[in-house]
Every structure is written in C-alpha cells, then in structure tokens.
C-alpha cells in the first residue's frame, strides 16, 4: 500500500504507483450481455484473483446501446501480467466455465485492451464501495502534437486540485505505456460523482473558476493542449460484482 499525502485538498500518492494497469473493454455479442456479466460474477473475477490479478473495477456505460463492459485490472508489472493471463487461460475452472457459457455461441463479439501507467500525480487507488451508488466518468484526452507533457503538468499543478475543490472524486490518472497506441498523446482518467447531474454541476463550477481560467490561459499561450474534439467522456455505473462502486 502506497503512503499518501494531502495537498490542496487532494490525496496524492507519496510514491509513484509503478504497477501495470490494463483497461479492457468488451462488446457483448447480441443478446449476451447478461450472460457475460454472469460469467464475470460467478467465475472470471474469482479466477483472476487466484492468478494474482487485482480486480479494480467493472462498469457498464449508462448509455449502453453497444452492450459494453469496461473493466480495470492491475498487476505488479507487464511480465507478471503475461504470466497471470497464461495461467488463467489454462486454468481448468476457467476452461469449464468458458465452455459451459458458450454452448449457445460466443459471449464476446469484440475485445479491446490498453496497458496503462499511472501518472506521478495520480492518487493512490482506493477500491471502495460507498453505501450510495456513484456515477463514474471515463475521460480520455488526446493531446496536441508534443503537448502531452504540458497537459500532464497542468493537471498536476492545477486541474486535480480544482477538481477536488469542486467536489469531484478522482479515481486515477494514466497514460498508455510506451509500447501502446496513444503513448505520446493520450491521458486517461476516471472520476466519480454522486450522479450525472452532479457531474454537470461540478464541471460547470470548475469551468467558471478564476483559478482554472488563469491556468488554462497561461498553459495555452502557444496553442491548445488538446486536439479539436480531443476530449471524450463516457458515464458508467459499477456492476453489482465490482470491487469499486
């Protein structure tokens, strides 16, 4: 467990979290979303743990017209990840669960994965389940060419403190690992809110904050830090079996 320090109302990791994180997004085959979730609930998550994988969280988008499941795993490093997945795939319990669940067809139509490294300003990951359900927001920024370092600097020195000021819970901040697509221009982070309406209220106050306006102006003297249309947001809810809720 990493120690943490409190700066400007925001909890930072006292040391960098050097683990390998993997964000996986599955698109369920038509009519198979419930069966896919049941397989995670009844089998997959437990077998992941058996093989040293940390189940951080499992979510489905609020607007889930594409039948997606998003989940985040953590490993000591990339080598450990590969070893764990090899053992998982060969596990007799997984083989049995997989075959039984797919007797009437595959559950996953598409699987996407990206390996992530926590930024040096990312908080210690708190896998918690508050009594009241939260709405999670997955935000992806595509930096302008050569601007990822400046974007991270603005988050480190300004944005995270202002997010905390305006009541947003910050789950974590990551950049893709060096060998991944988007490693030179992508920032990914997760926020938690009381609701989607609460998120809109918090961001409305944040965008009008004079400290934010000053930081944004100063950081963008030589142009925007993100490409046009480079900020994407997806709202999601935790599944009933997600460790983080």
DSSP string, 140-205: EEEEPTT-HHHHHHHIIIIIHHHHHHTT-EEEEEEEE-TTSTTTTTEEEEEEEES-HHHHHHHHHH
Question: 93 with 131, same domain?
Answer: no
Question: 111 with 129, same domain?
Answer: no
Question: 165 with 213, same domain?
Answer: yes
Contact 206, 160 (CB under 8 A): no
Contact 32, 105 (CB under 8 A): yes
Residue 7: predicted pLDDT: 42
Question: 126 with 216, same domain?
Answer: yes
List phi, psi (to 5°) of 203: -70, -35
Question: 126 with 227, same domain?
Answer: yes
Residue 104's Cβ-side half-sphere holds a number of Cα atoms within 13 Å equal to: 6
Question: 100 with 126, same domain?
Answer: no
Number of residues written out for the chain: 245
Distance, in Å, from the CA atom of 19 to the CA atom of 136, rounded to the nearest integer, reads 22
Query: At which residue do the structure tokens 């990914």 appear?
Result: 188
Q: What is the largest CA-CA distance in the chain?
A: 59
Residue 8: predicted pLDDT: 41
* Single pTM value for the model: 0.92
Residue 6: predicted pLDDT: 43
Residue 173: predicted pLDDT: 98
Question: 99 with 155, same domain?
Answer: no
- Final residue of a domain: which of 116, 137, 170? 116
Residue 15: predicted pLDDT: 61
What is the domain-level CATH number for residue 185?
3.30.70.100
Comparing CA positions, the residue from 32, 173, 34 lying closest to residue 105 is: 32
What is the count of structural domains for the chain? 2
Question: 107 with 160, same domain?
Answer: no
Residue 5: predicted pLDDT: 40
Q: Which residues contact 130 (CB under 8 A, 6 or more apart)?
A: 245
Q: Which domain holds residue 24?
A: 20-116
DSSP annotation of 8 reads T
Per-residue pLDDT of the chain (245 residues; tens, 9 = 90+): 333 444 444 445 546 789 999 999 999 999 999 999 999 999 999 999 999 999 999 999 999 999 999 999 999 999 999 999 999 999 999 999 999 999 999 999 999 999 999 999 999 888 887 888 999 999 999 999 999 999 999 999 999 999 999 999 999 999 999 999 999 999 999 999 999 999 999 999 999 999 999 999 999 999 999 999 999 999 999 999 999 99
Residue 129: predicted pLDDT: 78
């Amino acid at each position: 467990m990493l120690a943490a320090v409190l700066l400007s109302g925001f909890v930072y990791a006292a040391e960098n979290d050097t683990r390998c994180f993997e964000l996986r997004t599955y698109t369920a085959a038509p009519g198979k979303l419930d069966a896919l979730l049941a397989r995670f609930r009844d089998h997959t998550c437990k077998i992941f743990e058996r093989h040293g994988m940390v189940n951080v969280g499992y979510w489905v988008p609020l607007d889930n017209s594409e039948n997606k499941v998003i989940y985040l795993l953590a490993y000591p490093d990339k080598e450990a990840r590969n070893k764990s997945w090899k053992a998982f795939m060969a596990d007799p319990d997984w083989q049995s669960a997989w075959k039984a669940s797919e007797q009437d067809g595959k559950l996953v139509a598409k699987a996407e994965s990206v390996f992530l490294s926590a930024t040096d300003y990312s908080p210690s990951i708190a896998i918690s389940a508050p009594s009241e359900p939260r709405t999670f927001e997955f935000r992806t920024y595509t930096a302008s060419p050569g601007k990822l370092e400046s974007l991270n600097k603005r988050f480190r020195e300004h944005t995270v403190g202002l997010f905390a000021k305006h009541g947003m819970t910050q789950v974590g901040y990551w950049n893709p690992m060096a060998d991944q697509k988007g490693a030179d221009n992508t920032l990914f982070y997760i926020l938690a809110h009381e609701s989607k309406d609460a998120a809109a209220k918090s961001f409305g106050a944040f965008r009008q904050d004079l400290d934010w306006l000053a930081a944004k102006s100063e950081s963008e003297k030589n142009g925007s830090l993100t490409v046009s249309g480079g900020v994407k947001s997806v709202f999601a809810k935790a599944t009933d079996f997600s460790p983080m809720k």
